[in-house]
Amino acid sequence: MKLHFRLGQMSYAFADLKTLLAKATPLRSGDQLAGIAAESAAERVAAQMCLADLPLPLFLTETVVPYETDDVTRLILDTHDAVAFSIVSHLTVGGFRDWLLSDAADTAVLTLLAPGLTPEMVAAATKIMRLQDLIVIAAKCRVVTKFRNTIGLEGRLSTRIQPNHPTDDPKGVAASLLDGLLYGCGDAVIGINPATDNVDACIQLLEMIDEVRLRLEVPTQSCVLAHVTTTLEAINRGAPVDLVFQSIGGTEATNRSFGVSLDLLREAQEAALSIHRGTVGDNVMYFETGQGSSLSANAHHGVDQQTLEARAYAVARHFKPLLVNTVVGFIGPEYLFDGKQITRAGLEDHCCGKLLGLPMGCDVCYTNHAEADQDDMDGLLTLLGVAGCTYIMGVPGADDIMLNYQSTSYHDAVYIRKALGKRPAPEFEAWLLERVICDSTGTLLPDLHFLPKSLLPAISSV
Amino acid sequence: MDDELSESKSSWRRLREFTSARVAIGRSGSGVPTAAHLQFQWDHARARDAVYSTLDTDRLCNELKSIGLQPIQLYSAAPDRRIYLQRPDFGRRLSAESRSSLAGTETLCDVAFVLADGLSAAAINAHAMPLLKSVLPGPSRSRSRAHDIRCTSLHPAASRRCRSECPPAP
């Protein structure tokens, strides 16, 4: 369907919905790389004005990736909740933005609405939002998930401990892990990116984290972020698998390039559920995403990267995950070039994830070849904190020595919790108090009582 | 109490024996202590400078010639580093001039070495010659035609002219 728009003496035509969405997207290098970005600032705003006038029901009849050839599109349309959608079905994209900003869109209504929204609808709305809109709308969403603790309650911000090591040495991993606990981190997950993807190495890491968790009685969950097939094999061998991880994307071809399918994810979810390791709840999945993955796999179908990222959230929510985060600046400057683009993308992703009902966190990060530094990360971190981001990463000194990129540090977690008055997950908070790592106000204690009694024996015996 | 605290702190610092990750760096309130902060800045600065460093093509060509090799200097389709970072596809193609300069020079070769700057010219400047010297056979190095070893240095970004033989370029 062709879309026309007139603005003054200028007239614009957009070949179809996906073209319009791409042209309306705030500037980012990945869309330029794909050759689909607006040719001028004026064309971009004309596209945004045109997009704002589109009625939301149009997104149920016009697909950006064909239904017949893509199982993500089929998932989106087949699971769409028409009753929930009726709350906003009378609105245009622009009207939807206004409604989301209004007091009518409170936490309860947004929770009811989530299954009635498609990724393309929320992506469209976020393309015409300012950063403050992305923040205030996301902050109204509340998504709570559970495994061994409760993630996502109001006023809480959780953290992953990411104790990566270039050769997966268990002692090295344990040292980073213990360091993170001392900063009050780790309530989201203790999550290791293994340097190798072989099952034995992964099982060794799983057993090490499990031993530390049990010895210190930490109320959290573990994850070795190997390929889902590796984790399935580990479960089959009786390894202590808490969460099942997988990177996912917004088209069937993207997921195929990751070596996964919807059926495989279902199989993995069921395997994790079958071993009943969650004590507070049964959200067993952990997904990571990121703008640009589809283009990188040549699996983007001419769709802009932000819309595709939102579609990945449809895949994620289907499996009731404990945690989902975008790894926003990891993919490189050819997709998000500088701090400005990374910041906008992080806030878009978080807002879209929350609107679609996901426990959305963010890996606030960048690579050495992007135009970005820790100041940019401090900016995005602070904005996400205000937006109610569910969790962030914790990497010792922000420097990941295995993945060779920079993320947020254990210190950054302390900063954001302190600056915004956010607390860890309640079960974890109680443990920090009991272990004398924090006092009752959540302030880190200098005395390090935790250390000599339990720390070194834990490492030495690894 | 003081003894216990300093024992705790030294226990904590011992974590550094197990990993090169930036563990046990201490804290100033919620912040990173100044020394650790400036160390991070230093390390990131060096990485940033490496990304924007310049290939020392004159020196490299002279050194290659001094060990009996005939380097060919080529350019990718990326006119500068900033564009290359946003358009790695330009970096995967030769510029039009470079492509035409190669016309008629094709020879059969078993191995072609491509010295490409890509994300770190500094790495090539420092390590290319030592690597080549240890990889190439010593006495027969002067018989470069017989071994059909062609060295090309490219600026400002990588080329994948001889796909299977070259070390992967960024």
Which of A173, A406, A451 is opposite residue B12, by nearest beta carbon? A451
Query: Does A193 or B6 have the greater pLDDT score?
Result: A193
- The whole-number pLDDT of residue B149 equals 45
Residues of A in contact with B19 (CB under 8 A): 165, 169, 171-173, 175-176, 396, 401
Tokens describing residue A68: 């017949």
pLDDT in tens, B22-72: 999 999 999 999 999 999 999 999 999 999 999 999 999 999 999 888 888
Minimum Cα–Cα distance from A457: chain B residue: B11
Do the Cβ atoms of A337 and B86 come within 8 Å? Answer: yes
| CB-based contact A399 B25, cutoff 8 Å | no
| Phi, psi torsion values for A124, nearest 5 degrees | -60, -45
Work out the number of other CB atoms within 10 angstroms of the CB of residue B57: 18
Structure tokens at B14: 């011992």
Class in CATH terms, B57-160 = alpha beta
Q: How far apart are CA A211 and CA A374, in angstroms?
A: 34
According to DSSP, the residues that pair with A233 across neighbouring strands are none
Do the Cβ atoms of A165 and B21 come within 8 Å? yes
Task: Indicate the pLDDT class of residue B145, thresholds 50, 70 and 90.
Answer: very low
> Does B15 contact A33 at a Cβ distance shorter than 8 Å?
no
For residue B85, give how far its alpha carbon lies from the nearest alpha carbon of chain A (Å): 6
Contacts of A444 in chain B (CB under 8 A): 27
Q: Using the beta-carbon criterion (under 8 Å), do B21 and A449 form an inter-chain contact?
A: no
* pLDDT computed for residue B6 by the predictor: 73
Hey, are the CB atoms on A397 and B30 less than 8 Å from each other? no
The answer to whether B5 contacts A172, with C-beta atoms less than 8 Å apart, is no
**Residues of chain B positioned with their CB less than 8 A from the CB of A165:** 19, 21
Pairing relationship of beta strands A10-14 and A3-7 according to DSSP bridges? antiparallel
Task: Report CB contact under 8 Å: A334, B86.
Answer: yes
Q: Average pLDDT per run of 10 along chain A, which is 462 residues long? A: 84 96 98 97 96 97 98 98 98 98 98 98 98 98 98 98 96 95 96 95 96 94 98 98 98 98 98 98 98 96 98 98 98 97 98 98 98 98 98 98 98 97 97 87 72 56 58
Measured torsion, CA atoms of residues B139, B141, B142, B143, in degrees rounded to the nearest 10:
100
Contact A369 B51 (CB under 8 A): yes
Partners of A182 on chain B (C-beta within 8 Å) are 12
Across the beta sheet with A158-161, the strand order is A222-224, A189-192, A158-161, A391-394, A360-363, A323-327, A285-289, A244-247
Contact A396/A163 with Cβ under 8 angstroms? yes
Residues of A in contact with B6 (CB under 8 A): none
Contact residues, chain A, for B22 at CB < 8 Å:
396-399, 409
| CA dist., res. A322 & res. A313, Å (int) | 13
Residues of B in contact with A397 (CB under 8 A): 21-23, 25, 32, 36, 40
Q: Where in chain B are the domains? A: 2-52, 57-160
Rounded-to-integer distance, Cα A151 and Cα B17, Å: 33
More confidently predicted of A303 and B151: A303
Answer left, alpha or beta for residue A244, where phi above 0 means left and psi between -120 and 50 means alpha: beta
Q: What is the pLDDT of residue B62?
A: 94
Query: Residue A253 to residues A70, A294, A308, A316: CA-CA distances in angstroms?
Result: 8, 8, 12, 16
pLDDT at B123: 93
pTM: 0.93
